[in-house]
Amino acid sequence: MPTIEPRKLPRQQRSKATVQAILDACAEGLQSRGYHGLTTHAIAMRAGASVGTLYQYFPNRDAVAGALVVRSMERLLETMRGALAECVERGLAGQAATEHLLLSALHVLVEERPVFSRLGAEAPHLFRLPAAVAAASQLIHMSQEIRLTSGNQLDLPMPEADAWIIGHMVSASMMQISLLEGPEEERRKLTREVARLTCRMALSRVSESSASVAAAAA
């Protein structure tokens, strides 16, 4: 079980830039060749450095990708914090809030596309790194806070299952949408739809009695 902890911290200005360049290069390489097809030489070269330099800051390839995951998760977290603050500030709620939050998330997902889609699929273990898990759990805390804040009605008969399903449905949709290559406008539209449908799913329970009648009729 090889460690993945950063090998040494860059002290000088020059080396800090190098480390960031390596992470950027890793993300770019991920996009075009996937994680398995991505060599440490390729990463270093794209970062304008040599392999040796890469290995001075990271003990192995996984450590590079792991650091990238953490950086992306933290960016997502930071963004969501900001978005939540804006919701509160602007008094957004319900579908409007959902939409704002989803669009904010989408923005990061798009920017960090290779990290979330490629690494999520090819190296899911990197998302179980302590730092990544920490960021994820803070995100979850946030989403609970959102519910309380917006005082919504999500107390359902089978709440965990629903939450689990809806959560996965939404995140899967967002992931798929983030993969669209077209113009941003397209993604924005789809995100709005997801927000709308999500709210429907969540709220549908309220009118359970009447709805079930319609469903049975269908």
Partner DNA sequence: GATGAATGAGCATTCATTCAT
Partner DNA sequence: CATGAATGAATGCTCATTCAT
Binding site for its own copies (CB under 8 A): 36, 93-96, 120-122, 124, 150, 152-153, 158, 161-162, 164-166, 168-170, 172-173, 176, 189-190, 193-194, 196-197, 199-201, 203-204, 206, 211, 214-218
User: Of its own copies, DNA, none, which one does residue 59 interact with (CB within 5 to 8 Å by kind)?
Assistant: DNA
User: Of DNA, its own copies, none, which one does residue 145 interact with (CB within 5 to 8 Å by kind)?
Assistant: none
Q: Which is nearer to its own copies, 79 or 171 (CB)?
A: 171
SS (H, E, C) the chain: CCCCCCCCCCCCHHHHHHHHHHHHHHHHHHHHHCCCCCCHHHHHHHCCCCHHHHHHHCCCHHHHHHHHHHHHHHHHHHHHHHHHHHHHHHCCCHHHHHHHHHHHHHHHHHHCHHHHHHHHHHCHHHHHCHHHHHHHHHHHHHHHHHHHHHCCCCCCCCHHHHHHHHHHHHHHHHHHHHHCCCCHHHHHHHHHHHHHHHHHHHHHCCCHHHHHHHHHHC
Q: Considering CB under 7 A, how many residues would be counted as binding DNA?
A: 26
User: Of its own copies, DNA, none, which one does residue 93 interact with (CB within 5 to 8 Å by kind)?
Assistant: its own copies
Q: How far is the CB of 170 from its own copies (least distance, A)?
A: 8
User: Of DNA, its own copies, none, which one does residue 183 interact with (CB within 5 to 8 Å by kind)?
Assistant: none
Q: Which is nearer to DNA, 14 or 89 (CB)?
A: 14
Residue 53 to residue 14: CA distance in whole angstroms = 12
* Residue labelled with tokens 């927000």: 195
User: Of DNA, its own copies, none, which one does residue 61 interact with (CB within 5 to 8 Å by kind)?
Assistant: DNA
**Positions 33 through 72 that interact with DNA (CB under 7 A):** 37-41, 48-53, 55-56, 59-62
Q: Under the rule (CB under 7 A), what is the footprint of DNA?
A: 2, 8, 10-12, 14-15, 17-18, 37-41, 48-53, 55-56, 59-62
